Structure 1
Amino acid sequence: MNYRLGLIGFPISHSLSPWIHNMFLKNADQQGTYKTFEIIPEEFESTLNDIRKEEELDGFNVTIPFKQKIIPYLDEIDQYASAVGAVNTVKNINGKWVGYNTDGLGYIQSLKEKFPQLFRNKGIRVALVGAGGAARGIYFALMTNGFRRIDVGNRTLEHAMDLNLLSTPETITNIISLHELEKVITDYDLIIQTTNVGMKPNSDSSILSFSKLRHSQVVSDIVYQPLKTQLLRQAEEKGASILCGHSMLIYQAKAAFEIWTGREVDNIKEMEKQLQNILEG
């Protein structure tokens, strides 16, 4: 089969998803292409309709800012993505667009690979920064993996309140401002930055400023260009451990590729290292 795959989002000129999925196709000995469709938000509906009519894609990824906006345009949505309320992967099944979410799965796998000790103590305190589509996937995945204390810091409190609708009675979540979060940042064992702040070309930006951190804390950023964001550089300077965003990127892509093709991706750690080398130049 000659797979026709792609990515929609804005902006996406920096994306390494084409490299990743072309590597997956090569390693699976499959033919195919992976195209990017950068859609201006104001033209989302018309451009999406054009893609549906003209491109005949077998599947595509969805990134910022369309992970929630895409949902009304899908024919079906799987149970997990429905619960999360965000979609990052779409599969064409007999002409129907079916939505999935692999963000949470990808993040959890990347976290387990580098910090397995965090999964042995589900009483740890997590701070989630941001409340968009990626945050929703990660929040739900953390919750379903047994983490019970997940606070959310966001610029707009009302927008973050929606995350509370995902929680179970066992989950404790406080919605706080970024200013409040900075004041209590040392209370958390794991801090996860889920917005696009700090992404190229605005690499000097950081959504948080750390006055101090504990050496036992883990700071994670899902932005992967640059490999070490300003936030992660700050965290390293304060002695915390860090998790770079390229790891989540490749694991969520792995899950998406397996949904599209039904073929398991091998040599994922080797490809993760190659991706890191690319990002390091």
Structure 2
Amino acid sequence: MEKLYGVIGDPIGQSMSPDMHNTAFQSLGLQAVYKAFHVTPERLQSAIEGVRGLGIAGLNVTIPHKISVMKYLDEIDPLASKIGAVNTIVNKNGKLTGYNTDGIGYVNSLKEVLIDKKLENCSILLIGAGGAARAIYFSLLEEGVARLDLANRTVEKAEALVNEQLSSQSRALSLAEAEGVINTYDILINTTSIGMYPNLEEIPISLENVNENTIVSDIIYNPMQTKWLKEANDKGAITHNGLGMFVFQGAIAFEKWTGIYPDIDIMKSVITRKLGGIS
């Protein structure tokens, strides 16, 4: 019998997850299909009840439901609880468990470009203090990074996140403060939407004083090279876009549903073709 998986969100028409997961199912010969479901906030509870009632084997959860869906689940993974958001649901015999694969998906993608660096020896600047920043922040702390600072337009939001963890290796900075010490970091990570359509000419922070071979990472993958990444490339930095995060978070979810880790290269090529570019 064919198993059903899917993604819920509002809006959802732009989602590339069905292409990615259905290709992975087909490549492994699994009898499964993945669909996109448009679920508005007022229908979220009934949608989750439908997961149990229809026996949907697993879901991805996207904007705006990552936080609000948590109260309708039976169990929350500890890391997802810490992050305060769920993007993956596993249905095991009617018991719904929520996970967050965004942060670890990002970390796995970042490791692809570390080359001779190790995360535990790196000084990292995280730009932003929203949902994506939380997922990446807590996942990087789990890796035991040497230094992990947060910079945000509203410093108080960054301070709140640092204080929540009480991490001795973190401090909150204004964007101006971060620009002044940008040459002290091994890795810069933009977790904001700055640089995404329609704000293609905007950048999250100046790279004027960035060092060569610094890893400059942007979680945006459409466009695959933001203006910020273009500037980083011109400075001799190593650039890293958000395509890997999207693919790896999906692969981890896939494994939680099926017990099988899919072929990352196949999944990545699907999304690259959809975007009409190279990763």
Q: TM over 0.5, yes or no? A: yes
Unaligned runs of at least 5 residues, structure 1: none
Residue 231, structure 1, aligned to residue 233, structure 2 = no
Change in 2 beyond 3 A, CA 1:198/1:259:
same
**Partner residue, 2:178:** 181
Superposition map of 1:109-128 within 5 A: 109-119=108-118, 122-128=120-126
Contact 2:85 2:100 in 1 (8 A): yes
Establish whether residue 199 from structure 1 lines up as the match of residue 189 from structure 2: no
Measure the CA separation in 2 of the matches of 1:12 and 1:233.
29
Question: Closer, same or farther in 2 for the Cα pair 1:65/1:118, shift >3 Å?
Answer: farther
- The equivalent residue for 2:19 is 19
Q: Structure 1 CA distance, aligned partners of 2:181 and 2:64? A: 29
- What pairs up with 1:64-103 in 2 under 5 angstroms? 64-103=63-102
Partner of 1:32: 32
Match of 1:271 among 222, 243, 267: 267
| 2: CA distance, partners of 1:201 / 1:27 | 35
| Gap change, CA 1:76 and 1:84, over 3 Å in 2 | same
Q: Which moved more, 1:106-115 or 1:26-35?
A: 26-35
Once the 2 structures are TM-superposed, how far is the Cα of residue 135 of structure 1 from its aligned partner? 1.6
Q: 1:181 to 1:159 in 2, by over 3 A?
A: same
Q: What displacement does 1:147 show?
A: 0.2
Paired residue type of 1:124: C
Counterpart contact for 2:48–2:72, Cα < 8 Å:
no
How far the C-alpha of 1:158 sits from its partner, in A, is: 2.9
Contact 1:140 1:166 in 2 (8 A): no
Deviation, 1:24, is 1.5
Count of aligned pairs between the two proteins:
274
Structure 2: unaligned runs, 5 residues or longer: none
1:98-135 deviation digits (Å, cap 9, x = unpaired): 1101112211211112223221x623210111122222
CA distance in 2, matches of 1:95, 1:16: 27
Q: Structure 1 residues 15, 232: CA separation in 2 closer, same or farther (over 3 Å shift)? A: farther
In structure 2, distance between residues paired with 1:246 and 1:208? 21
**In the TM superposition, what whole-angstrom CA distance separates every residue of 1:36-64 from its partner, at most 9, and x where no partner exists?**
3455xxx52x1212322445332211234
Alpha-carbon distance between aligned partners in 1 of 2:21 and 2:32, rounded to the nearest angstrom: 9
Shift of 1:20: 1.0
Cα distance, 1:130–1:50 mapped onto 2, change above 3 Å: same
Which residue type is aligned with residue 85 of structure 1? Answer: G
| Distance in 2 (alpha carbons) for counterparts of 1:222 and 1:34 | 24
Q: What are the residue-to-residue correspondences of 1:125-140 with 2, within 5 Å? A: 125-140=123-138
Return the offset for 1:168. 6.1
Q: Name 1:216's counterpart in structure 2.
A: 213
1:138, 1:210 → 2: CA distance? 21
- Secondary structure in 2 matching 1:6: strand
Question: Quick one: distance in 2 between partners of 1:258 and 1:270?
Answer: 15
Change (3 A) 1:143 1:274: same
Q: Which moved more, 1:23-32 or 1:58-67?
A: 58-67
- Give, in whole Å, the separation in 1 of the partners of 2:12 and 2:152: 24
| 1:49 alignment partner AA | Q
Taking a change above 3 Å as real, the CA distance of residues 22 and 174 of structure 1, as seen in their structure-2 partners, is same
- 1 CA distance for matches of 2:155 and 2:67? 18
Partner of 1:258: 255
Alignment partner, residue 155 of structure 2:
157
The separation in 1 between residues aligned to 2:268 and 2:61, in whole angstroms, is 21
For 1:130-182, what per-residue CA distance to the aligned partner results, in whole angstroms no more than 9, with x for missing partners? Answer: 1222222211221121202100112233332342256465x411112223223
